[in-house]
Chains A and B, each alone.
Chain A
Amino acid sequence: MTTRRGAPQRALRRCFVLAVALCALYATLGGPVSAAAQHMTAQATPSTDLGDQVVSVTWQGFAPTQPDGTDGVVIMQCRADPRSVLNDCNTADTFPYSLTGNQQAGTTNADGTGSVFIDIMTTARLPSLACSQSTPCSLLVYETTANGFNANGLPPAKTRVIVPLSFARNSADCPPVQQYAFSVESEASASYALYQWAAALCTGPHAFAMDVTNTSSNQARADFLSHLVDIGVTSLPPQPSELTPTSPKFSVVPLDLTGIVVAYNITDPVTHKQITNLTLTPRLVARLLSDSDIESFFSDPELQKLNPGVHWPIEAADPGLRGEENADTWLVTNWVNSNPEARAFLDGKDPYHIAVNPSWLDVPYPTDVFAARNSNGVYFPRIGEEGVADRLFSDTKPADSVPTATLDAGEIGILDYPTALRFKLPMANLTNGVGQPIVPANPFSIAAGYNAMQTTAADFHVEPPVQTGANVYPLAKVDQAMVPQKLTDSPKDLRIRAFLDYAAGPGQSNLPAGYVPLPNALALQTLRYTGDLPAPTSPTTTTTAGDTFAGSLDNNVAPLLADGEDGATGTATSTGTAAGTATGPTTTSRAKTTTTTVHTTNVRANARFVALRLSDSGDHLVLPIVLGLGLLAMLAAGADGVRRHGRRLWRRARRHKPPPELGGQAAR
């Protein structure tokens, strides 16, 4: 009975098992989820020949992001062919470098597409990945799920796409550095070119490594003049007060031609698209810089007149500025200062009857530090070119991406041209006033800006006090290297010469975006210095006290506050002006302004340390006394040992070698 009923039962059981197995197979391999996953794609633009720059990432076929944020998208920069998010995408073995890695979040539209910008980092900024020509990297684009995933591996294959990236040559393509041939500190705008050139010069038969530090013109000049670096790259000549009797004599050679731009990130509240056409005057820039009724900046009559037909955000404009000494600040404030309408605005005599912020009345321009003077203003100067660019960039989205809230969308900042291009930020057209020619920031207008420049006695190229002309960009600048006065035949100088020859020659066709190839006159100036061209007719490469800015600057500067000499007795005091002082000092010299603002931004007022004398404790005597006593004890014990050992030996000698007559008696 049981055996007869067994056959159909077994068949039924087999069918059931087969069905379960098929279901499991379908669940893991097939089904609607994987059908969609097969169509998940993502692209990066650009994805080849990359440097430190922003790329646009787009994706298709992803699950639409829910209102609560599930099914969002994360984009991570990883090693090529990543196996583990932790190890290959930056979070684990990156000590002692940046440990947050590089990632961006995005959202997917209802149609399964989405896009986002990500700031791709090469070796210099993300050493743990060391993305370079020889080490390609990738972008991991994945959907976030409620369950998450094990970070020691990758997100499940059906929720991720890997986009390969290839890079231009950078420092990671250089052999390991034993010793740097020479050191360079540089204005931020020149550093991208210098990094790229250093990478080009580090291999080959005459390879050498140069130590490039991205800082500011002021720092580069100060460190060059204190013999701390071999080359200082600056956009402005040093002040007479910066030159001391111990400063090295130097020559000046141009390295690159670029400009300063007013970049912005403003979203049209009606179309939710980024505004990409904006024109500003020195007066409008002055209004931004002086934090004057900034809540209604976008309803300024002059702005409306210059930019008709734009829907402006109702929020306040947010100035993005560098809060430390640098050449860009000086050049921008110089431009503003030399414009009559802007100057009238700053003096409280605005033709449009907008009152200047009282905290900025009588502020001497030009200055090289933007300082917050109004404690409750919107003003929050940031440190470094990237600090400003990051802030401007942080809310940007590709034009077709999901619109962001418009709350933060009124940002306008001062950047250099290469940085603005790297971050894909729109740049304002500049004009010297309504009715004046409108000049966009581009290589042509910057080259024209160079043509209008003046040359100082020490061969520095600087902006004229007033720019005119149809297509002359008012904020062009030449990054110029302060180099030893004459090059010798020492190994270091030979390499500096090779570097400068490269920079003025082949290097001009190996430039990142944001530079204008050096005009012939400038390249010739560099090559004449290196000795690879005939000497000029009138060499003027000595440093003199009269080496000043062109124009009508007051150069009767007060000396910089003397810093207490290192190692001097503890009498140095810091003046520690409290931040947010309502009015600045009323001197008009640049050096004086600089000094004051440095103290308001950088110094911790610290009365606790004034004239500190320390009492001497006797603790330093403890160890010498103990060791001295120990030494004495060792000597004593040693002498004692020698004495006793000697006595024992003597006694033994007496016992074993008795006098002959005694020995005879003993024998008997």
Chain B
Amino acid sequence: MTDTSTLAKLSPRTGHESGVDAPVELAADDASTPARRWIAVGTVARRGIQLFAVVVLAFVVFALWLSGLAHARSQVGLQRRFRSELSQNSAPVGGAIPTGAPIAIVQIPRIGVTEAVVQGSGSGQLRAGPGHVVGTPLPGQPGNAVVAGRRTLYGGPFRHLGSLRPGDVIHATTGEGNSTYRVTNVADLGAGNGSFVQNHGDNRLTLFTSDSTWTADGRLVVTAKLVGNPYPPTNTQAPLDAEGLGLTGQRDAVSYMLVWLELLAVAALLGAYAASRWSPTRVWLVFAPLLAMMMWLFFESFVRLLPATL
């Protein structure tokens, strides 16, 4: 990765790089000691800014492409698991469903979505696929079943939700059977508007995601009405969770993020030290994968801080 080289070469080349413009500046400033210190600070700041830019760029690459691979991989596993659960009649339909377990398959032919829906809609669960908001009935059951999905990160399964039109069909398969919904409304709701999780006295499926690609300050909500009859309701017990409503991150992820950040820094320093001793090839071979992995884990923990539906 590009950032690796920067990190690895940061320390040993600092003196050399500063040497390039130092004579010019020194000639102007008459080589006084405070000036030298200011030059060193300026160099560090410049390097820091460059490093930050590279990390952000790497994050954008991670966000738009690499995280999609992680999502695709999770989906393969989830769909396989749900399929085998369906075949054994052991797919969960109520009670205390473990967070992250697949509870349904949602198909939206219009936008080409076929996704396994997991239980829970926190930032951590939505990495694997759309998540069922705990505290609402399961798809196919009486009431308002709510499912959240990401718009940008981790494959953005719901990125085309806004192109659904009234009358479009949504299929949901749960352990109780198949249900068909018809879209009745697509709306942009403000962050404070909780009507999308409320029971409206009918049987509906509500899909929502962030209302824009990079800032999640509202929800794009698609409402679909059940065609035909609901399956019997089950006791889903859990109350509604504020972190499951799509616009908040996972608060306790900060500590994880800091741990990965520290490890990343340690690895970078080690790499810098090694670069002054080993051949560049060897440094690359050893530290590039290590730093890439650390950075991946750092990004994953950072994403947990972001709004869950982003």
Which residues of chain A have a CB within 8 Å of any CB of chain B? 91-92, 94-100, 183, 185, 211, 213-216, 219, 223, 226-229, 324, 383-384, 387, 561, 563-564, 566-572, 574-576, 598-599, 602-604, 606, 608-610, 612-617, 619-624, 626-627, 629-631, 633-634, 636-637, 640, 644, 647-648
Chain B residues with CB under 8 Å of A99's CB are 83, 86-87, 89
Chain B CB count within 10 A is highest, among A96, A98, A384, for: A96
Known contacts A96-B83, A567-B221: A613-B180 contact under CB 8 Å = no
Q: Is the CB of B20 within 8 A of A637?
A: no
Q: Is the CB of B202 within 8 A of A213?
A: no
- Which of these, B56, B200, B249, B307, contacts A630 with CB under 8 Å? B56
**B30-76 residues at the A interface, CB under 8 angstroms:** 46, 49-50, 52-53, 55-57, 59-60
Q: Is the CB of B60 within 8 A of A96?
A: no
Q: A594 → chain B, closest Cβ, in Å?
A: 12
18 new A-B contacts at CB < 8 Å, known A617-B307, A627-B56: A95-B87, A96-B86, A96-B173, A215-B227, A228-B184, A229-B182, A384-B229, A564-B198, A566-B200, A570-B193, A576-B199, A602-B142, A604-B199, A609-B199, A609-B240, A621-B215, A637-B46, A640-B49
Q: Is the CB of B87 within 8 A of A633?
A: no
Closest to B46 in A: A640
Residue interface bits B180-196, CB-to-A below 8 A is 1, else 0: 10101101110111110
Residue interface bits B157-194, CB-to-A below 8 A is 1, else 0: 00000000011010001000110101011011101111
B143: CB under 8 A from chain A? Answer: yes
A571 CA / B194 CA spacing, docked (Å): 9
A155 CA / B215 CA spacing, docked (Å): 60
Which residues of chain B have a CB within 8 Å of any CB of chain A? 20-21, 24, 46, 49-50, 52-53, 55-57, 59-60, 79, 82-83, 86-87, 89, 105, 107, 135, 137, 142-143, 166-167, 169, 173, 177-178, 180, 182, 184-185, 187-189, 191-195, 197-203, 214-217, 221, 223, 225, 227-233, 239-240, 242, 245, 247-249, 305-307, 310
Closest to B204 in A: A566
Chain B CB count within 10 A is highest, among A216, A569, A571, A576, for: A569
A602 CA / B306 CA spacing, docked (Å): 37
- Which of these, A216, A387, A572, contacts B195 with CB under 8 Å? A572
Chain A residues with CB under 8 Å of B24's CB are 647
Closest to A595 in B: B201
A614 CA / B221 CA spacing, docked (Å): 15
A567 CA / B211 CA spacing, docked (Å): 14
Q: Is the CB of B195 within 8 A of A569?
A: yes
Closest to A568 in B: B195
Q: Is the CB of B193 within 8 A of A383?
A: no
Closest to A90 in B: B87
The 6 closest A-B pairs by CB, nearest first: A630-B56, A612-B194, A567-B187, A566-B185, A633-B53, A570-B195
Chain A residues with CB under 8 Å of B227's CB are 185, 213, 215, 219, 223
Closest to A385 in B: B229
Q: B243 → chain A, closest Cβ, in Å?
A: 9
Closest to A625 in B: B215
Q: Is the CB of B245 within 8 A of A226?
A: no
Chain B residues with CB under 8 Å of A566's CB are 184-185, 187, 195, 200, 221, 223
Q: Is the CB of A215 within 8 A of B228?
A: yes
A99 CA / B107 CA spacing, docked (Å): 18
- Which of these, B79, B83, B305, contacts A622 with CB under 8 Å? B305
Q: What are 16 A-B residue pairs whose CB atoms fall within 8 Å in the complex?
A: A211-B169, A213-B227, A216-B228, A567-B185, A567-B187, A570-B194, A570-B198, A604-B137, A609-B198, A610-B198, A616-B191, A630-B56, A630-B60, A633-B49, A634-B53, A637-B46
Q: Is the CB of A572 within 8 A of B83?
A: no
Q: Is the CB of A620 within 8 A of B50?
A: no
Q: Is the CB of A648 within 8 A of B187?
A: no
Chain B residues with CB under 8 Å of A223's CB are 182, 225, 227
Known contacts A96-B105, A575-B201, A612-B194: A633-B52 contact under CB 8 Å = yes
Chain A residues with CB under 8 Å of B189's CB are 567
Chain A residues with CB under 8 Å of B60's CB are 627, 630
A384 CA / B232 CA spacing, docked (Å): 12
Closest to A635 in B: B53
Q: Is the CB of B167 within 8 A of A228?
A: yes
Q: B219 → chain A, closest Cβ, in Å?
A: 10
Chain B residues with CB under 8 Å of A561's CB are 201
Chain A residues with CB under 8 Å of B242's CB are 614-615
Q: Is the CB of A564 within 8 A of B217?
A: no
Closest to B172 in A: A96
Q: Is the CB of B249 within 8 A of A603?
A: no
Chain A residues with CB under 8 Å of B167's CB are 183, 227-229
Chain B residues with CB under 8 Å of A324's CB are 229
Known contacts A215-B227, A228-B166, A384-B229: A619-B182 contact under CB 8 Å = no
Q: Is the CB of A620 within 8 A of B247?
A: yes
- Which of these, B50, B82, B86, B200, contacts A564 with CB under 8 Å? B200
Chain A CB count within 10 A is highest, among B55, B57, B201, B245, for: B201
Chain A residues with CB under 8 Å of B197's CB are 609, 612
Chain A residues with CB under 8 Å of B194's CB are 570, 609, 612-614
Chain A residues with CB under 8 Å of B79's CB are 95
Q: Is the CB of A92 within 8 A of B87?
A: yes
Chain A residues with CB under 8 Å of B248's CB are 617, 619
A613 CA / B193 CA spacing, docked (Å): 6
Chain A CB count within 10 A is highest, among B24, B46, B52, B221, for: B52
A356 CA / B102 CA spacing, docked (Å): 48
Q: Is the CB of A563 within 8 A of B135?
A: no
Closest to A626 in B: B56
A634 CA / B3 CA spacing, docked (Å): 13
Q: A187 → chain B, closest Cβ, in Å?
A: 12
Q: Is the CB of A606 within 8 A of B143?
A: yes
Q: A612 → chain B, closest Cβ, in Å?
A: 3
Q: Is the CB of B192 within 8 A of A383?
A: no
Known contacts A228-B184, A575-B201, A637-B53: A567-B195 contact under CB 8 Å = yes
Chain B residues with CB under 8 Å of A644's CB are 20-21
Q: Is the CB of A619 within 8 A of B216?
A: yes
Q: A185 → chain B, closest Cβ, in Å?
A: 7
Closest to A384 in B: B229
A568 CA / B56 CA spacing, docked (Å): 38
Q: Is the CB of B192 within 8 A of A614?
A: yes
A608 CA / B239 CA spacing, docked (Å): 8
Q: A194 → chain B, closest Cβ, in Å?
A: 14
Chain A residues with CB under 8 Å of B199's CB are 574, 576, 603-604, 606, 609
